[in-house]
Every structure is written in structure tokens, then in C-alpha cells.
Chain A
């Protein structure tokens, strides 16, 4: 029963316009209870989920962007963001929320959860998974 599988949540939708981004986040948090090897991928419009400075007061919807900061506490600390997707949208790492986790294997040092990877690297990451869940 202790077999650990590699799970990748693939996020390709912008937040707020559709429900996919929020639903993905909910499933990730639920899935975190099962102690699997979890990674998140942000590709295409999915990179917009991580932009900083989101303020939804004017549109009457819940701002769920602070929830991404809680992922580190659930041992979800591999957030792969595709470089080409950022560039096509005029974004860089500086436009994203700083997300960190405490590495228990390294005296609880604070480390970055976001890892910007190329499209080719992302393809390899997908290939290494046991399960990919798409949102």
C-alpha cells in the first residue's frame, strides 16, 4: 500500500473566465492528503493563474490566488512553469507570485516552489509521470 506514484496536474486555463483553475487547485489540495509525488505544470493560459496582484473585488468572485501559497505546507512544492508560455504572453518570473516551501531535508530552508522550464523540459517532465490530470 506504500507505493508512491508520480502525479502531474496540468493547468492550461486562465483563472476566473472558467472554473478549471479553481477546480484544479481544489483537487490538488484533496490529493495532497494521499502522500503521492505531486507536481503542477502551468502551460499556455495556465501561467496566468500565478500572476501577482490579483484583486477580484470588482468582479464579485473569490480571489483564490492566495491558496497557491498554501501548497508548500502540503508538500506540493514542484510548480513547473513553461518559459515559452510566459514569453508569448509578455510575462516573466517577476510577474508571478513568489511561492516558497520549507525543505525539511535541508534544515527547513525556504526555497522557491516555482521552476521555470522550457517546452522541451516540460515534455520530459510529462513523460516521467505515472498519472497526468488535465485542467
Chain B
């Protein structure tokens, strides 16, 4: 059973992403979108937490939400993969469940 975890809240304002990472099993996927994309920036007070979680999980970020917020892909934590809306759909279809962390 694979779960796609999706997070749309800033990790600096809510604990949604921290809680998500605490519950996402090894091998699961995490997609950051809307204000969740701020969690993928490197060199922040949260990036070590994300980096540690990525050792055993795949982390994706929605490209159009990055662009809207002026975040260049070069600013992301190493290993974070950028997807577009079609990629979001593919990830959803490939997973057994989609779990949203509001």
C-alpha cells in the first residue's frame, strides 16, 4: 500500500509538513504544493528536517506554485523533484491513496 502525502501549508506557520513527515512510511511520496512549497527551500530552519526525511522517501514540489512565489529551482533542497500538474495527476494515479495534511 503506497500513500501519496500532499501538504499545502508553510512549515514556518503550521506543523502540517512536520507531522506529515513523522507519519510518512519509508518508500512513500510527499508532494508539496501551494504554501507547502516553502518547505522545499534549502538553507532554512526546516531544511534539515526535510533532508533527513528524504533519505527514505521521495519528495516532489509543484512547479507552478514555486514560480508564483519567485522560488528558483536552484534554491531547492537537493533531491527534491519538480513536477507540473500532469505530474501531480500521475503521482496520484500511481498511489493507492492520497492523504492531505491541511
Using CB atoms and an 8 Å cutoff, list the residues of chain A in contact with chain B: 13-18, 44-45, 48, 51-59, 61, 63, 65, 88-90, 95
Using CB atoms and an 8 Å cutoff, list the residues of chain B in contact with chain A: 8-10, 12-13, 34-35, 38, 41-45, 47, 63-65, 67-72, 75
Using known A-B contacts A45-B12, A59-B64, determine if residue A89 contacts B44 with beta carbons closer than 8 Å. yes
Q: Are A52 and B35 in contact (CB under 8 A)?
A: no
The smallest beta-carbon distance between A54 and chain B, in angstroms, is: 4
The smallest beta-carbon distance between A83 and chain B, in angstroms, is: 14
Using known A-B contacts A44-B12, A44-B13, determine if residue A90 contacts B68 with beta carbons closer than 8 Å. no
Q: Are B64 and A90 in contact (CB under 8 A)?
A: no
Q: Are B67 and A57 in contact (CB under 8 A)?
A: yes
Q: Determine the main DSSP class of A at the interface with B.
A: loop
Q: Are A16 and B35 in contact (CB under 8 A)?
A: yes
A-B contact pairs, 5 of them (CB 8 A): A15-B69, A16-B68, A17-B10, A53-B72, A89-B12
Cβ–Cβ < 8 Å partners of B70 in chain A: 51-55, 65, 95
A45, A54, A90 interface centre (most CB from chain B within 10 Å) = A90
The 8 closest A-B pairs by CB, nearest first: A58-B64, A17-B35, A90-B43, A51-B70, A53-B70, A90-B44, A54-B70, A56-B68
Using known A-B contacts A14-B10, A45-B12, determine if residue A54 contacts B68 with beta carbons closer than 8 Å. yes
Q: How far is the CA of A59 from the CA of B12 in the complex (A)?
A: 22
The smallest beta-carbon distance between B13 and chain A, in angstroms, is: 5
Cβ–Cβ < 8 Å partners of A90 in chain B: 41-44, 47, 75
The smallest beta-carbon distance between B8 and chain A, in angstroms, is: 7
Q: How far is the CA of A36 from the CA of B13 in the complex (A)?
A: 31
Cβ–Cβ < 8 Å partners of B67 in chain A: 54-59
Q: Which of A13, A51, A57 contacts B71 (CB 8 A)?
A: A51
The smallest beta-carbon distance between A57 and chain B, in angstroms, is: 7
Given A16-B65, A57-B64, A88-B44, 19 more contacts at CB 8 Å? A14-B10, A15-B69, A17-B8, A45-B12, A45-B13, A45-B35, A45-B38, A48-B38, A51-B69, A51-B71, A58-B64, A58-B67, A58-B68, A59-B65, A89-B12, A89-B44, A90-B41, A90-B43, A90-B47
Q: How far is the CA of A15 from the CA of B67 in the complex (A)?
A: 12
